[in-house]
Amino acid sequence: MVMVPGALLFLSSAAFAARVAIPAGEYTLGNPQHPDSPVRTARLSAFAIDTTEVSIAEFERFVKEGGYGEPELWSQAGRAWLKANPQGAGEAQRAAGRIATHPVVAVTWYEADAYCRWAGGSLPTEAQWEVAACGGDGRIYPWGADPQVNTEAMEGKPRKPVDSVGTSPVDQGLPGTAGPFGLVHASGNAWEWTSGWYHADGASLQGADPQGPAEGSWRTLRGDSFLNMLSYNTCAHREPARPERVAFTVGFRCAYPSP
């Protein structure tokens, strides 16, 4: 685990990953380039967030303890999806041939949303995710401005087949790639679901605790995956995805009320 000056790192319980507290403040989000424009300011209340992506083991505990059978954890749209998909993609697909310490993948937005509620939190808003990942100080990547840092992006490497899920264990990021709050794999490993709807114009993602658009057809992914190029690794990059999407490149982490 990484202890960050000025931030509190704590364990919710032995069953869940470490979380880091993010202080209230005014933060800079976005960048001047389309589609991640405009640069904007958000004032966030204090919150906490998982330092790592949710692992296979953590998600399968949710399944085994009946998370798919607790309708109160699911949104209205999630309950409709669950009726047609009572076990999601299944344990084998979520593991995708990897050991239990790797990030769970092949989970829809609905499943990620329900898991985070079960864990006592929620999916992070886009603003929460970007501040926690990169510090909200205008940097390009979680680690700063240098694109030559030894990342897990696919820049200059042969593209792997999609059925070869090339993730790393959730707590094993490459040296020098963590952001200022110590989040592991905020860039690379797996895309991460956020709570918000995707609109190409990010202007609504500013002000006091912005939640983003009130409705839409696509949810927003952040953070890049093992399969993408370095240009996707930037702090401000936003990626649309249908909430029912099942992909070996997509996982998530959760946010929580301030401890």
**Domain residue limits, the chain:** 9-257
Cβ atoms of 160 and 226 within 8 Å: the answer is yes
Is the domain spanning 9-257 CATH 3.90.1580.10? The answer is: yes
Whole-model pTM: value is 0.90
Rounded Cα distance between 117 and 109, Å, is 12
* Cα angle value 27/155/138 (rounded, 5°): 10
pLDDT value of residue 252 = 98
pLDDT value of residue 146 = 79
Structure tokens at 126: 């886009």
Q: Give, for 115, the enclosing helix (H) or strand (E).
A: helix 109-118
For every one of its 259 residues, what pLDDT tens digit does the chain have, with 9 covering 90 and above?
A: 333 333 444 444 446 779 999 999 999 999 887 778 789 999 999 999 999 999 999 999 999 999 999 999 999 999 999 999 999 999 999 999 999 999 999 999 999 999 999 999 999 999 999 999 999 999 999 998 877 665 555 444 444 455 579 999 999 998 888 999 999 999 989 999 999 999 887 778 889 999 988 899 999 999 999 887 777 888 999 999 999 999 999 999 999 998 7
Q: Is 257 helix (H, G, I), strand (E, B) or coil?
A: strand
C-alpha separations of 189 from 63, 74, 226, 248 in Å = 23, 26, 5, 11
Structure tokens at 230: 């370095």
C-alpha separations of 237 from 69, 71, 234 in Å = 35, 33, 6
E strand spans, 60-205: 191-197
Rounded Cα distance between 107 and 59, Å, is 10
